[in-house]
């Protein structure tokens, strides 16, 4: 047996692996488990995108190594998409990096920009892969609490002065995983000012960019004046087009950050399989009806879930974006993990304990809208029988 590197040992434990083990045990006992804990889209990739991939895979020119740094046609499609959808102009040659999904980019950015000991501002609660990137870069995290009283937006004024002075990079993510919060124009403007004043590079994780409710379309961070001078946005096809298994996304924005990302990737990969890039370009350039339908589906599930939980007496708030609801743990439970274990055991309903997303996630559980309305209602029915509220 060979030992793992010290670096690998410093990586955060995969918190949800623990949950999966517990869930599997209950499944093996033959119970019908309703899993609201995961973030895996349940709908298939739209057929026009699958067909574009099938056509492309038959083209022998795509069987070779893809060009380093991605296909020009995809980079141009990304520029067209951003201008059409957000009115943001992107230079396809200098302001786009093709990624193996958003996760890869989020983990790569700290490694291509930071030196050991550098400070990164990270949202808490937040998507755990931010932590992995920071650890791999041997950098240090300073948490930005996302509190309900601030609509789950960081309060820059409350951060330690010392940490802000030392910070070189920060992550923000709206629509937000896990809280379901969305950002305001004013918040993005404040972020640009804060980053400019303190010389911090902003990485906006726009994984749920397409998913906003109540007729409110989430803003791209790059729509904010000055954003491209201080940061990048990371987009993925996983959620918008149900392409989580395809592993493709992109980063756009500040050319120096994009160049660093591309340079790191030159050493790691060649590029995403060209037929996948062709399908991704097709997704961006086609009418976006499939996206509108998907958002309506999630909105309708959100309404069903929130109504059903309120009906059983659970005081829950509706998310304004993403496909997650962030629900308070009833006061009789000591922790989010205790509550999650209890629901799993007694109701065979899986929810993700909030402390898996950071210290400030304690007191909440995350529930996904990734199953049918009937199953969401059935989950509420089962929880009702526990008489918790
Ligand atoms: N960012 C957030 C907040 C996410 O929740 C996810 C996926 O769950 C990602 C990024 C990464 O998505 P992918 O690597 O599939 O593009």
Neighbours of 244 (CB within 10 A): 15
Tens of pLDDT along the chain (389 residues)?
A: 999 999 988 888 777 888 899 999 999 999 999 999 989 999 999 999 999 999 999 999 999 999 999 999 999 999 999 999 999 999 999 999 999 999 999 999 999 999 999 999 999 999 999 999 999 999 999 999 999 999 999 999 999 999 999 999 999 999 999 999 999 999 999 999 999 999 999 999 999 999 999 999 999 999 999 999 999 999 999 999 999 999 999 999 999 999 999 999 999 999 999 999 999 999 999 999 999 999 999 999 999 999 999 999 999 999 999 999 999 999 999 999 999 999 999 999 999 999 999 999 999 999 999 999 999 999 999 999 999 99
Q: Which fold has domain 6-44+290-384?
A: 3.90.1150
Write phi, then psi, for 358 (nearest 5 degrees): 130, 170
User: Is residue 249 lining ligand 1, measured as CB closer than 6 Å?
Assistant: yes
Evaluate: CB of 240 within 6 angstroms of ligand 1.
no
Q: How far apart are CA 287 and CA 277, in angstroms?
A: 18
Q: Give the global pTM.
A: 0.97
Integer Cα distance of 262 and 268 in angstroms: 10
Q: Note the pLDDT of residue 229.
A: 97
- The best mutation among 16, 38, 129 to test binding of ligand 1, ranked by most ligand atoms within 8 Å of the C-beta, falls on 129
How far does residue 378's CA lie from ligand 1's centre (Å)?
A: 28
Residue 70 is predicted with a pLDDT of 96
6-44+290-384 and 47-285 share one CATH topology? no
Name the one residue in this structure whose structure tokens are 């920009």: 113
User: Residues 213, 321: contact at Cβ < 8 Å?
Assistant: yes
Q: Residues of 267-286 as b/e, b for ≥16 C-beta within 10 angstroms? A: eeeebbbbbbbbbbbbbbbe
Distance between CA atoms of 384 and 376, rounded to whole angstroms? Answer: 12
Where along the chain do its domains lie? 6-44+290-384, 47-285
Q: Give dist(CA 157, CA 191) in Å, integer.
A: 11
| Minimum CA distance residue for ligand 1 atom 4 | 207
Angle at 237 between CA 272 and CA 327, to 5 degrees: 135
Residue with CA nearest ligand 1 atom 1:
207
Nearest CA to ligand 1 atom 6: 207
Q: Is 244 in the pocket of ligand 1 (CB under 6 A)?
A: yes
Write the secondary structure of the chain as one string of H (helix), E (strand) and C (coil).
CCCCCHHHHHCCCCHHHHHHHHHHHHHHCCCCCEECCCCCCCCCCCHHHHHHHHHHHCCHHHHCCCCCCCCHHHHHHHHHHHHHHHCCCCCCCCCEEEECCHHHHHHHHHHHHCCCCCEEEEEECCCCHHHHHHHHCCCEEEEEEECHHHCCCECHHHCCHHHHHHEEEEEEECCCCCCCCCCCHHHHHHHHHHHHHHCCEEEEECCCCCCECCCCCCCCHHHCCCHHHHEEEEEEHHHHCCCHHHCCEEEEECHHHHHHHHHHHHHHCCCCCHHHHHHHHHHHHCCCHHHHHHHHHHHHHHHHHHHHHHHCCCCCCCCCECCEEEEECCCCCCCHHHHHHHHHHHHCEECEEHHHHCHHHCCEEEEECCCCHHHHHHHHHHHHCCCCC
Domain covering 47-285 assigned CATH 3.40.640.10 in the classification: yes
CA distances from 385 to 26, 257, 379 (A): 19, 53, 10
What is the phi/psi pair of residue 363, to 5°? 95, -5
- Whether 361 lines ligand 1, by a CB cut-off of 6 Å, is no
The sheet with strand 249-253 has its strands ordered as 96-99, 249-253, 231-236, 201-205, 167-173, 119-124, 140-145
Q: What whole-number distance in Å separates Cα of residue 200 and Cα of residue 376?
A: 42
369-153-116-68 Cα dihedral, nearest 10 degrees: 50
Which ligand 1 atom sits closest to the C-alpha of 205?
1
Cα(194)–Cα(175) distance, integer angstroms = 20
């Amino acid at each position: 047996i060979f030992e793992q590197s010290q670096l690998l040992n410093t990586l955060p434990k995969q918190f949800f692996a623990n949950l999966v083990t517990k869930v599997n045990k209950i499944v093996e006992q033959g119970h019908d488990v309703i899993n609201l804990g995961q973030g895996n889209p349940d709908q298939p990739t739209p057929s026009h995108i699958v067909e574009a991939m099938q056509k492309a895979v038959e083209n022998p020119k795509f069987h070779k190594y893809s060009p380093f740094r991605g296909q020009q046609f995809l980079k141009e499609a990304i520029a067209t998409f951003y201008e059409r959808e957000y009115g943001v102009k992107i230079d396809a040659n200098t302001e786009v990096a093709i990624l193996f999904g958003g996760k890869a980019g989020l983990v790569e950015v700290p490694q291509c920009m930071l030196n050991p000991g550098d400070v990164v501002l990270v949202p808490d609660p937040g998507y755990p892969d931010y932590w992995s990137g920071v650890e791999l870069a041997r950098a240090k995290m300073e948490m930005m609490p996302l509190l309900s009283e601030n609509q789950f937006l960081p309060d820059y004024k409350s951060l330690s002065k010392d940490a802000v002075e030392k910070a070189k990079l920060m992550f923000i993510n709206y629509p937000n995983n896990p809280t379901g919060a969305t950002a305001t124009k004013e918040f993005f403007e404040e972020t640009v000012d804060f980053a400019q004043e303190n010389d911090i590079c902003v990485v906006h994780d726009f994984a749920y960019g397409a998913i906003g409710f109540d007729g409110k379309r989430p803003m791209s961070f790059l729509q904010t004046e000055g954003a491209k001078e201080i940061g990048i946005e990371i987009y993925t096809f996983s959620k918008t087009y149900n392409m989580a298994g395809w592993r493709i996304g992109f980063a756009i924005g500040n050319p120096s950050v994009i160049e660093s990302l591309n340079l790191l990737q030159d050493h790691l990969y060649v590029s995403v399989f060209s037929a996948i890039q062709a399908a991704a370009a097709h997704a961006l350039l086609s009418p976006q009806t499939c996206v509108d339908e998907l958002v309506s589906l999630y909105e309708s599930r959100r309404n069903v879930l929130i109504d059903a939980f309120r009906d059983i007496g659970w005081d829950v708030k509706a998310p304004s974006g993403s496909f997650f609801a962030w629900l308070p743990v009833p006061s009789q439970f000591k922790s989010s993990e205790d509550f999650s274990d209890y629901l799993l055991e007694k109701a065979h309903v899986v929810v993700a304990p909030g402390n898996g997303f950071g210290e400030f996630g304690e007191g909440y559980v995350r529930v996904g809208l990734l199953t049918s309305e009937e199953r969401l209602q059935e989950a509420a029915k089962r929880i009702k029988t526990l008489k918790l509220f």
